[in-house]
Each structure stands twice: as structure tokens, then as C-alpha cells.
Amino acid sequence: MTIASAPDLETRPSAGVRPLLGRLVRRPAGAFGLAVVAALVLVAVFAPYVVPYDGAVQDIPNRLQGPSGSHLLGTDGLGRDLLSRILLGVRVELAVALPAVCAALVLGLLLGLVAGYLGGWVDNAVVVFMDTIQAFPSVVLALVLVAVLGPSLTNLVIVVAITFAPQSARVTRASVLALRQSPFIEAERALGASTLRIIGVHVLPNVIAPLFILLAMNIPSAITVEAGLSFLGMGVQPPTPSWGVILSDGFADVYEAPWAVLWTALALVLTTIGFTTLGETLRDVSDPRLSGAKGLRYDR
């Protein structure tokens, strides 16, 4: 990944939130991603008040029904309303993904700042640590950590945070390495500025923006990891309506009534596309050079 030179980073006018949102919604992909994410947030906040049924109430006589007027998405193997469970599952997914990717961002930011600025053996140690974690596929590493810590919502957040932290650390380290020898950093050192001041005032503001873009793009991956672990019985435990739990229950009757698998998989796909397109468009409009765009201006 390439970043701007130090003078560009120091003199470039910062875009406000409203102009950034304006450029975001003018792009179809950005408008779509923003609409999906906004809808998910609203569902997560208001789902308990708008769902047609209690997601935990069983109705055995009406089990495995298809979509109907009383159950818009059908029912599962225990007669529970699928629409209610999928909407309530949005809260579970975001309750795992948002804290996990935020914790990964903070942990990766700290490791990347320390490694990139101090260099030497500290940098080597952090790089070896990151390489060790990233040597394992995300799901395999998550399975190992959950097996050690035990399946629970809190442990799931910890596991996902550890799994995604090296990505934030690498992005931060690369940015800090490019900034460390910049003229304005050298000038601050010559004036006797402390390391904490240099990092806090000059380095941190210039490396934080790519991390927020990475955060938006990591949320769907975190949701997928959570759903996979819950599907295998290693994450959120029944009867909590996690999407992975709904998928696991649905596969038991997939040939008789595929609705649970179909609607939940569709929710996962839509969520992944929404967050990914939002993150990519946010990257493009905030700094075209990060995506290799040509001929675009920051004041556009």
C-alpha cells in the first residue's frame, strides 16, 4: 500500500464528514453500502420492538412452514418465526463484530506504532508475532482459541479481535515507517519534542484514516467468522438467535424446508456486500491514491 508523502499529509485540507458523505452517496456502490449498513444498525437497535414474534417461542404444530401471511419467511424446526430470529440475529452479529474489530484496530494500532517508530529488535519481534498469527487461516486460529477459552460471547469477541489485529498492525507499521524519516518529524526531534508528542500529534493523525476504512471492510469478515464458529457449535450457543445457530438448526431439515438456510445465507451475503462496498467506496473518496484512482482531486 502506498501513502502520500509527508508534506502532502501535513498540508492537505481535511475533509469534513458532510462533504465526505456527499461524495459517498453520489456513487451507487457507496449509496448502496451506506443504506445496507444503516438498515442493519436500525434493525439492531429496534429489532426487539418490531419483530412480529418472540424469537425463542416454539410453535411445534407450525414447524417447518414455508413463507406465509403469518410467517413471512417461514418457521424453523421448532416452529419459531424465521423473520424474527434473523432480525434479532443482527444484534448478535454486530454485538460480536463491532467490539471485536474495534479492539483489533486498537491493538493493531498500538503494535504498529511501537514497531514502526522504534524499529530495531522491537520491530522484528512485532513482525514475528504478526507473522505467527497470520500463518494460520482465520477460522482455524479462531477454532483453536475458542477451544482453549471456551465458547461464549465474550470469548468470541476476544478471539476475533486477536485474529484481525495483525492486519491493523501491518497497515499502521507501513504508514509509520514512511512517516518516521519525514522532514517535519526530523524538525520536531531537533526541537526536542518527546516521542509521545511526535506520535500523538504528528504520526497518529496521519495513520488513523486507513484503519477506519479497514475496520469497515473487516466487519463482514468478523461476522462470517462468528457465524462459522456458531454453526460448528463453538461460538454463540442456542437458543440465542445467531445467524450461525440458525444455519446449523436449518441444515438438519434443509431438504424438507430450506427456508432457514436460504434466508440466513442471503442475510450474510447482503451484509458482506454492504460493508465491503461501503469500505471500498470510502477508501476511494477519502484518498483516491489508496485505490490507484487517477485524475481525482481531494477538493472535488
Q: Is the pLDDT of residue 7 over 70?
A: no
Q: How far is CA 283 from CA 92, 216, 232, 256, in A?
A: 27, 10, 34, 44
Cite the beta strand spans of 189-265 per DSSP E.
Answer: none
pLDDT in tens, 34-44: 899 999 999 99
Q: How confident is the model at residue 271 (pLDDT cuts 50, 70, 90)?
A: very high
pLDDT in tens, 213-232: 888 888 988 898 888 888 88
In DSSP terms, which residues pair with 37 in a beta bridge?
none
Instruction: Tally Cβ neighbours within 10 Å of residue 5.
Output: 12
Residue range 67-77: mean pLDDT, rounded:
87
The yes or no reply on domain 17-54+75-290 and CATH 1.10.260.40 is no
Dig out the grid coordinates for 13 from the structure.
485540507
The better pLDDT of the pair 199, 61 is held by 61
> Is 95 within 8 Å of 252 (Cβ atoms)?
no
> Residue 53: what are its φ and ψ, rounded to 5°?
-140, 160
Residue 57: half-sphere exposure toward Cβ, Cα within 13 Å: 9
DSSP 27: S
Q: Is the pLDDT of residue 263 over 90?
A: yes
What is the per-residue pLDDT for 38?
92
Q: Which of 23-37, 78-92, 166-180, 189-203 has the highest mean pLDDT?
A: 78-92
For the chain, percent helix, then strand, then coil, each to nearest 5? Answer: 75, 0, 25
pLDDT in tens, 95-144: 889 999 999 999 988 888 888 878 788 888 888 888 888 777 777 788 88
Average confidence score pLDDT of the chain: 80
Note the pTM of the prediction, 2 decimals. Answer: 0.79
